[in-house]
Amino acid sequence: MTIPTISPEDTAARIGPDGTATYVDVRTVGEFAEGRPKGRAINLPIVFHHPKTGADHPNEAFELVANHAIDKSAAVIVGADGDARADLAAARLAAAGFEDIQVMGSGITGWRAATLPVTGDNRDGVSYVSLLTAARRAK
């Protein structure tokens, strides 16, 4: 399955007040907390960075949280920081049965370059910790 790429401007329109898509930010919790695209978005890290070694570790609960937080037929736009994490996450979502996936290829770097609004909003229902907790309770 080829997953299409979408621009930051088109992403903004699709996750904004009149949009119906959800932006799935697959950067780490720390990166997400530093600022994310303003609009309908959630944090679902694809990997975690070890605090001392910097080594990447896959998020074993990625599909669990995705299946709980997102309807499989809903429009999803995956983004990271213009790196391979977005493509990896999109492939895992497609393999899990999600049907309408796009990747914001330039990630948060492209979003900021386009001077689109950024927020630090990390409330329940948006933050990874709250999504993980809800998914585990629902098991």
pLDDT per position as a tens digit, 84-98 = 999 999 999 999 999
- What six digits make up the tokens of 119? 């927020």
Q: What is the pTM of this model?
A: 0.95
pLDDT per position as a tens digit, 15-69 = 999 999 999 999 999 999 999 999 999 999 999 988 889 898 999 999 999 999 9
Place of tokens 């309770």: 137
Residue 34: per-residue pLDDT: 94
**Counted domains in the chain:** 1
- Check pLDDT > 80 for residue 139: no
At residue 83 the predicted structure's pLDDT band, cuts being 50, 70 and 90, is confident
- Check pLDDT > 90 for residue 1: no
- Check pLDDT > 90 for residue 105: no
DSSP annotation string for the chain: -PPPEE-HHHHHHHHSTT---EEEE-S-HHHHHT-EESSSEEE--SEEE-TTT--EEE-TTHHHHHHHHS-TTSEEEEESSSSHHHHHHHHHHHHTT--EEEEETTHHHHHHHTT--EE----TTTSHHHHHHHHHHH-
Domain that holds residue 64: 5-138
Q: Give the closest residue to 108 by CA, choosing from 21, 14, 41.
A: 41
CATH code at 37? 3.40.250.10
Task: Work out the average pLDDT over 112-125.
Answer: 95
